[in-house]
Amino acid sequence: MADSFYEVYSLLVGISLYIANAFVLYKIANKAKMDNPWLAFIPFLQFILFFHIINRSAWWVLILLVPVIGVVAAIIFYWEFYSAFGISTIWKLLAIVFTFPVGTILLLYLAFSDVTYKLEGNKYMNL
């Protein structure tokens, strides 16, 4: 009986965190004026939105599958992501090194503050 309670509880917590993360990415994509911000709510298609925010093709997601190189690439991609919103170097470093809680707080800041998207000439923007 207790095992099924924890399974249901874990499932509900996981779904809640996924929806919260998707909503934050949706808000960030709207702020960046992306073409399809609704992609934030669809698993795996979130990668398309992330890469379009940093003005890269979504095919770059394949490099993340390569051991070691994928980790280095993810650090570079997140650096570009934070740079697209003009985040200072110290906050970018802290967010990358301490993904939780600093990275999470920084994403919430990007979504709900008045910070603006700084990447000019993004071909994926909805103008």
H, E, C per residue of 41-52: HCCCCHHHHHHH
Say what the pLDDT of residue 125 is.
86
What pLDDT sits at residue 1? 63
**Which residue range forms the structural domain that includes residue 54?**
2-112
In a domain, 60, yes or no: yes
pLDDT tens digits, one per residue of 54-90: 999 999 999 999 999 999 999 999 999 999 999 999 9
In terms of Cβ atoms closer than 10 Å to its own Cβ (0-12, 13-18, 19+), residue 44 is exposed
Q: How many structural domains are present in the chain?
A: 1
When pLDDT is averaged across residues 99-103 and rounded to a whole number, the result is 94
Distances (CA, A) of 60 to 21, 52, 102: 21, 10, 25
Q: Is residue 84 part of a domain?
A: yes
Least confident of 1-10, 28-37, 92-101: 1-10
Question: What is the pLDDT averaged over residues 19-33?
Answer: 96
Q: Is residue 57 part of a domain?
A: yes
Q: Within a domain: residue 10?
A: yes
Give a yes or no: residue 34 inside a domain.
yes
Which pLDDT score is estimated for 127? 67
Predicted pLDDT of residue 126: 79
Give the rounded percent of residues in the chain with a pLDDT score beyond 90: 89
**Is 124 inside a domain boundary?**
no
pLDDT (0 to 100) of residue 6? 92
* Within a domain: 127: no
Whether 36 maps to a domain, the answer reads yes
Q: Looking at residue 8, what is its pLDDT? A: 94
Rounded average pLDDT over 97-111: 95
